[in-house]
Structure 1
């Protein structure tokens, strides 16, 4: 069953969405992320994707307390990413009710830490492949690495991580619809579960992605389309469940 995972992006304590990862193009959707999380659960969500945008940019867990509050307020798994660069922060999150931690920058710059974390916390570590073009971006998408996303994905294949989150930055927050060519290439070279983030606009995107479940697409993260009302979460969940 393909998951549809609502996203809650945090900046300055508020629910926001960026356009193509641009911190200068922010839309605020509410000042109570905990209530928003509860609303998603009430609509049937089975998992939540939380990103500390401030943390991603600063390289530390800026919204740690708020993320933990969200995790404790709902009865479904919560995954969190953004600014998580060391084992201590990973352990703090996982010991406070967060289900999985998402690593991004360190997967490029400190792959041994990823392996150690995956070994120490089985099932608790995800890696985010954030891609601009075909190259990986880090530090809250503000810096580019000279590393092809498929190369990084293959390096992670035997790392022990629980799965990959694949984000096409050019599509994130745009509601332009999903683009599957790079996603399908990724699914063809890894056996890890993959979750797509970025671009979902309408129910047709969910229908288009559903057949890729057979290739290993585990889920899709949806943000702006839910906040703008162009996608109904209950309907998306119904189609994803088949």
Structure 2
């Protein structure tokens, strides 16, 4: 199981939100690339980046910082937030990003996602509130169940699903293990848990299910609740 440290970008800074609310942003670094380097030095292989401004704007908004992170680390990078068309996908791949996360567009145009997944390294981001898919930077809740959306992408070339329980994101209240497993079982695709991780025990519980491919670590690291170096050794 992979541990993917997260860097959420807002106005060029590394921040964390609570339950996806932009006005809840707490700044943790003015130089996100230095954070990425720290994760690499701790033993990370992957980095999870979200362009928060991009998620709301529907287009890249933190390119300068993303380029700095790419230039200063050898980490594999998956990136989401505002990726709505093939030109943006190509632009990021040319920049050296390893995998692109398609979120809102996966609900509104699943055929586009399947087409892109056949050509490029694509992950689908499924963010849910009470089991229903949230879109547009979590500002809207659709009428589609998260498990239905996950099932729609089975066997189409999608590399991974990143599933987030929005109600837990940034709350340090623990990963929603049952929700994560339901997504993995519905899709048959490598599933990465996100939202609410609070301790190394959460990581061990996920690992012991044998059904989860990865977990994203955000606020628990930034608030000093988890020793990432130790966590990498455990997995």
CA deviation digits over 1:144-178, x for unaligned, max 9?
A: 11100010001011222111001000111111112
Q: Could you tell me which residue of structure 2 aligns to residue 183 of structure 1?
A: 180
Per the TM alignment, residue 89 of structure 1 is displaced from its structure 2 partner at its CA by: 0.2
Q: Could you tell me which residue of structure 1 aligns to residue 221 of structure 2?
A: 226
State the Cα RMSD in Å.
Answer: 1.0
Contact 1:4/1:221 (<8 A) preserved: yes
Give the whole-Å Cα distance in 2 for the aligned partners of 1:74 and 1:165: 23
Give the whole-Å Cα distance in 2 for the aligned partners of 1:128 and 1:85: 13
Q: Could you tell me which residue of structure 1 aligns to residue 234 of structure 2?
A: 239
Give the whole-Å Cα distance in 1 for the aligned partners of 2:123 and 2:67: 18
Contact 2:152/2:187 (<8 A) preserved: no
Runs of 4+ in structure 1 off by over 6 angstroms are: none
Within the alignment, does 1:195 sit opposite 2:192 as a pair? Answer: yes
Task: Give SS of 1:209's match.
Answer: helix
Per the TM alignment, residue 64 of structure 1 is displaced from its structure 2 partner at its CA by: 2.1
Q: Could you tell me which residue of structure 2 aligns to residue 112 of structure 1?
A: 111
Contact 1:68/1:98 (<8 A) preserved: no
Q: Could you tell me which residue of structure 2 aligns to residue 3 of structure 1?
A: 2
Give the whole-Å Cα distance in 1 for the aligned partners of 2:55 and 2:79: 11
Q: Could you tell me which residue of structure 2 aligns to residue 127 of structure 1?
A: 124
Q: Count the aligned residue pairs.
A: 235
Within the alignment, does 1:82 sit opposite 2:77 as a pair? Answer: no
Flag structure 2 segments of 5+ consecutive residues without an equivalent: none
CA deviation digits over 1:51-90, x for unaligned, max 9?
A: 0000001111111232122122111201100000000000
Give the whole-Å Cα distance in 2 for the aligned partners of 1:171 and 1:103: 21
Task: Give SS of 2:232's match.
Answer: helix
Flag structure 1 segments of 5+ consecutive residues without an equivalent: none
Contact 2:148/2:186 (<8 A) preserved: no
Q: Could you tell me which residue of structure 1 aligns to residue 92 of structure 2?
A: 93
Task: Give SS of 2:180's match.
Answer: helix
Question: Which structure is higher in RCO with an 8 Å CA cutoff and minimum separation 6?
Answer: 1
Contact 1:164/1:194 (<8 A) preserved: yes
TM-score (norm 1): 0.94
CA deviation digits over 1:28-60, x for unaligned, max 9?
A: 101000111101101111100000000001111
1:64-83 alignment, distance < 5 Å: 64-83=63-82
Task: Give SS of 1:200's match.
Answer: coil
Per the TM alignment, residue 8 of structure 1 is displaced from its structure 2 partner at its CA by: 0.3
